[in-house]
A and B are shown apart, each in its own frame.
Chain A
């Protein structure tokens, strides 16, 4: 199955930017061929005539569920912030975003 050549090209470097993941050059090459094998297999769906077929998004129809706009207890702030890789007071500390 690994010998299948795909006629689908995936620009792994560009997708990595969108996905916010750095890949090494070696990983990019490796993933390129693996993903093209998968996309070749996925192209089997091209065989189907899907004209007029509505998409299915969930296992059953989903509706919005509402509740009263009443404040209820939430997570313990200290326990949440205890997981912070870096914090200042009650805030998560991050690198500068705006110059």
Chain B
């Protein structure tokens, strides 16, 4: 089988081994990636851009380093990126017209770390505009289709990232997760998506959406690949005061003897009510039962405030996002709209009206409303208080459980353009994922089977803050048990 045909199913770990063994070069690997994109992305639409020339130049440099005897794991590995990271010298659009013309003058910390590890940032991936959405349909530029069924959404907001990996157009990618935007598209597309604990990975140079919840994380084919990427990007950063001074464990080594024996798994009953698709319930319960058969101690638990999480998230996220997006005003970057003679206010108002899409405008207006005088106490302050109750739910659960397992999403992927009129669809999609962002804990989604219509079903695993070792070990052990 040629490298071009192997590329679509190749994992990051396999690519690394192939490079180390000299089976192929980085240049050949990047060419295979380019060929895959040329062949299939006209249907999937995952990529906003792919700088083949830049990626090949970096690949040549990596091959030279390897010839000189350097073999770091990520040397010469192309990694595709949600278009929300500043990569020096490249555009960064956040899938929005308002950043038209912007060229990043610096690298985000995660990019600096990938480059230091020898990886090649390769390709900018489609997303919901400013990470606001659960379908990637809110991109200002193009539609991304679920590679499993191109009539369906890939999820969002990191839909391009998940579609690229699941569709064989990338070995691995980085996305961001604010309310589920890594885990939900991973679930919809049938791949692995990890949201690290808040403060585990630097947000410096990542365009901010919700500063108290955003995290960068890997979307990959395997848990091992996710561990490799997380290893490279995690850790304290002087440029991001919210990163935590905790050592980064060897996530890859931690997977080796991953076992379900004696693992205490809590199963939140609130995730298995009528709102959850029966086929999703069946597949997730079967996966959890398999864990029990392999020696895990499974118990039903309650996260009593699950039903309030979406409301808390709607308010807190919109409030913070309205503040984060205030900087997009036509002054320092992006295309300015409005005539100079109309004055500064008009410049702001027209630039933002014409530059932002409808969903972004909606959330900015909601966020401005809940922060405004007369509404702050009723909405925003109360939501922050309710956020404490959600955090306490997890603290109570993790007193008796090592990890929690649930469906990632209530349903599998649905048809494109089918939920446009539903103002609450995003809340529904994120019903089981937002609580982890509110509490700052870590979580991931792994595939756990398919529906009768062959649609992927995701199993969400959650662990306490800075419990990524337990999280990844549980997921890897479960994956081995399920044979997925």
Contacts and interface: CB of A to CB of B under 8 A. Distances in A.
Q: Do A and B bind each other?
A: yes
A41 to B, nearest CB: 6
A39 B378 CA distance: 11
A48 B393 CA distance: 14
B366 interface: yes
B341 interface: yes
B465 A59 contact: yes
A79 B346 CA distance: 27
A86 B334 CA distance: 10
Given A35-B362, A94-B344, A53 B241 contact: no
Given A21-B356, A45-B386, A60-B465, 13 more contacts: A12-B365, A18-B368, A20-B345, A22-B350, A35-B369, A35-B423, A38-B424, A53-B388, A55-B388, A59-B465, A85-B333, A85-B336, A92-B331
Contact of A19 (B213, B322, B350): B322
A34 B335 contact: no
Interface residues of A, number: 53
A32 B160 CA distance: 31
A22 B353 contact: yes
A19 B239 CA distance: 28
Contacts of B204: none
Interface of B: 101-103, 105-106, 197-199, 212-213, 238, 241-242, 244, 305, 307-308, 310-312, 314-315, 322, 326, 329-336, 340-350, 352-353, 356, 358, 361-362, 364-366, 368-369, 372, 379, 381-389, 391, 421-424, 427, 437-441, 465
A19 B388 contact: no
Contacts of A64: 241
A82 interface: yes
A60 B389 contact: no
10 contacts: A21-B353, A22-B349, A27-B358, A34-B362, A45-B383, A57-B384, A60-B465, A65-B238, A84-B332, A94-B347
A66 B426 CA distance: 39
Chain A interface, >50% SS class: loop
A10 to B, nearest CB: 6
A21 B424 contact: no
A55 B384 contact: yes
Chain B interface, >50% SS class: helix
Interface string A58-92: 11101011010000000110011011111000001
B423 A48 contact: no
A83 B360 CA distance: 22
Given A19-B365, A20-B329, A56 B391 contact: yes
Contacts of B345: 20
Contacts of B379: 42
Contacts of A42: 311, 314-315, 379, 383
A73 to B, nearest CB: 11
B368 A95 contact: no
Contacts of B352: 19-22
A45 B198 contact: no
B423 A18 contact: no
B25 to A, nearest CB: 32
The 10 tightest CB contacts between A and B, nearest first, are A59-B440, A59-B198, A55-B384, A85-B336, A79-B105, A22-B353, A83-B333, A56-B387, A19-B368, A20-B348
A76 B104 CA distance: 11
B13 to A, nearest CB: 30
Contacts of B315: 42, 45
A41 B198 contact: no
A15 B369 contact: yes
A16 interface: yes
B414 to A, nearest CB: 15
Centre residue among A15, A56, A85 by max chain B CB count within 10 A: A56
Contacts of B365: 12, 15-16, 19, 21, 31, 35
B309 to A, nearest CB: 10
A7 interface: no
Contacts of A25: none
A86 B336 CA distance: 9
Contact of A59 (B212, B308, B334, B388): B212
